[in-house]
Amino acid sequence: MKTLLLLAFKSALNRKLSILLAMISIAVSVTLFIGIDKIRKEARSNFLNTISQTDLIVGARGSPINLLLYSIFHLGDATNNISWQTHQSLKKNPQIKWTIPLSLGDSYRGFRVVGTTADFFKFYKYGGGRSVLLQSGTEFTDLYDAVAGYEVAHKLNLELADKITLTHGTGELSDDHADKPFQVSGILAKTGTPIDRVVLVSLRAIEAIHIDWRLGAKLPIGISQGQTRKMRLVPQTISAFMLGLHDRINTFRLQRTINKYRKEPLTAIIPGAALAKFWRTMAGFEQVLLFISILVLVATLTGMLTTLLASLNERRREMALLRAVGARPYHIIALFICESLIIMAGSLIGGMIMLYAGLGLVRSYIQDTYGIFVNISALDAEQMVFLLIALATGVLISLVPGIIAYTRSLNDGLAVKV
């Protein structure tokens, strides 16, 4: 076997250009497949870890997916609000440990504004239990304090004490709240979640900037910023709220209770289950990516087969000489198998080098652009199986030129003219 491997290696060196091109093309296809699979799995992991240790999210009666999108991903709008009295009433339930109210609907230069309470910083968790931390500054303490998410501050070059003016609504033609500017009191550390793309203010601040608005329009006689500071500002409605329980075993029971709440139509969802369901709706896109990667690999292996077949005419004398010195049929076939093993092994090693080098170069860009943290780790079981299948397929492909070479060598003899 050692002799055959040495012979195959020396034979490959004589055709190093074509062999090198075949190895590069296979390495690229392997990098593409494993890279897509890694990013796909990291995206799913990041997606499912957008929120953790929150047992239920409660909003107005409607689609669970829509509730998930506007409360966690800040996409779209709530179909309706829920009353503050309902939130306060449910909060008194002895099973509930904490709640985080959310008030949505305003924006700042294209980024969503989220009205909440100090409990957000205390109880909101992501990524398996990590807390939201401040990179600099403090939480909102003054009525008109605002805490900017990492991406908001980074893209808009916000610094502590900067003045910002919120916009009513999210559309380009929305009226703003220029009469009640905010001051940036804090900037959040990067989380890789939608929290990076929001501006956090207090619920009292949301109530203050809308104190002189009715039915989406500003009243002719406004109320000044100074006047609002003297008012007792209590929210009338909120968009949704998150909650955590003392004992998670009561999650389904409380969910049914909230969904049957008689005073107001509500929807309660379990974040993990809703996230998994929503991800399954995008499974088709994942499969398309993997299918394209497999097609690329098949095309590349077909190219390798073409390369080996194209070299047969050049190697007819070589095969005839081997037969003349006593090489058996399996020796000829084994020679092509060894050559294929050399090509595939080199391709897989090269593919792994390209994969990890590429991930190291683009991981920061992927995280900054798409909020996906790509963990550079060892291959998982599925990816190892894929590499073994690719190796085995390459070996099987080599049987075709091996059998053809053996059949030709029986007739060629030593007098072949090429």
The pLDDT of residue 32 is 85
pLDDT of the residue at 60: 95
> Tokens 């099987």 correspond to what residue?
396
Co-location of 26 and 95 in the same domain: no
13 found inside a domain: yes
Pairing of strands 167-168, 96-108: antiparallel
Q: Are strands 240-245 and 198-202 parallel, antiparallel or unpaired?
A: unpaired
Instruction: State whether 326 and 212 are in the same domain.
Output: no
Contact 88/228 with Cβ under 8 angstroms?
no
Q: Number of folded domains in the chain?
A: 2
Strands annotated E in 117-226: 125-126, 130-131, 134-137, 145-148, 163-164, 167-168, 182-188, 198-202, 213-214, 217-218
DSSP helix/strand/coil, 342:
helix
**Beta strand ranges found along 240-390 (DSSP E):** 240-245, 266-269
pLDDT by residue, tens only, the chain of 418 residues: 566 667 667 776 777 777 788 788 888 888 888 888 888 888 788 788 889 999 999 999 999 999 999 999 988 888 899 999 999 999 999 999 999 999 998 999 889 999 999 999 999 999 878 899 999 999 999 999 999 999 999 999 999 999 999 988 776 555 578 788 999 999 999 888 899 999 999 999 999 998 887 766 777 777 888 888 888 889 999 999 999 999 999 999 999 999 999 999 999 999 988 888 888 777 677 778 778 777 877 877 787 777 777 766 666 666 666 666 666 666 777 777 888 888 888 889 998 999 999 888 888 777 766 666 777 888 888 889 888 888 888 888 878 777 777 676 555 554 444 4
**pTM of the predicted model, to two decimals?**
0.75
Give the domain-ending residue among 269, 295, 317.
269
- 314 in the same domain as 231: no
Answer whether residue 64 is part of any domain.
yes
CA dihedral 322, 326, 328, 331 (to 10 degrees): -50
> Which residue do the tokens 């198998």 mark?
337
Q: Is residue 41 part of a domain?
A: yes
Q: Which amino acid is at 98?
A: W
Q: What pLDDT was estimated at residue 369?
A: 66
Contact between 124 and 142 under an 8 Å Cβ cutoff? The reply is no
pLDDT of the residue at 415: 47
Give yes or no: residues 64 and 40 share one domain.
Answer: no
Contact predicate 263/109, CB 8 Å: no
| 75 and 173 co-located in one domain | yes
Domain co-membership, 60 together with 32: no
Predicted local confidence at residue 414, as pLDDT: 45
The answer to whether residues 339 and 225 belong to one domain is no
Q: Which domain holds residue 235?
A: 56-269
350, part of any domain: yes
Tell me, yes or no, whether 342 and 367 share the same domain. Answer: yes
Q: Output the six-digit token pair for 238.
A: 């909120």
Please tell me the distance from the alpha carbon of residue 69 to that of residue 370, in angstroms, as a whole number: 16
Handedness of CA 37, 39, 43, 45 (dihedral sign): positive
Same domain, 80 and 42: no
Report the C-alpha gap between 176 and 113 in whole angstroms. 13
Q: Give CA torsion, residues 248, 252, 255, 260, to 10 deg.
A: -150
Tell me, yes or no, whether 296 and 156 share the same domain.
no
Same domain for 38 and 186, yes or no, is no
φ and ψ at 244, to 5 degrees? Answer: -125, 150
Residues 367, 308 share a domain: yes
User: In one letter, which amino acid is 262?
Assistant: R
